[in-house]
Amino acid sequence: MLRISREHCVRSRAEPGCVAHNVHVDAENGSRIVFVEYWHDEAALRAHFAAPESRAFAKALGGLAAARPEMTVYRAEQVNLA
């Protein structure tokens, strides 16, 4: 799962509008991986989800997962603490 996830991240970083795309292993649950992505706008994110490579990745990852993968998308904004 990590190998194809890392490959997916590298490929995704080359897509228009991708600022960052990373995969992480949960320190408390080693069988859980988390993706942290930063896209220029929602249109770029939607284009990423629609890309055939992204759809193939999701299908491949689902086939390897012990349980059905869950995805939650958040809209975040930077906070200046200074």
Q: What is the pLDDT of residues 2-45, one digit of tens each?
A: 999 999 999 999 999 999 999 999 999 998 999 999 999 999 99
Q: What is the pTM of this model?
A: 0.88
CB-neighbour burial class of residue 12 (10 A; exposed 0-12, middle 13-18, buried 19+): buried
What is the CB neighbour count within 10 angstroms for residue 7? Answer: 13
Which one-letter amino acid corresponds to residue 72? Answer: T
How confident is the model at residue 68, as a pLDDT?
Answer: 87
Q: Give the 3-state secondary structure of residue 41.
A: coil
Q: Would you say 17 and 39 are in contact if contact means Cβ atoms under 8 Å apart?
A: yes
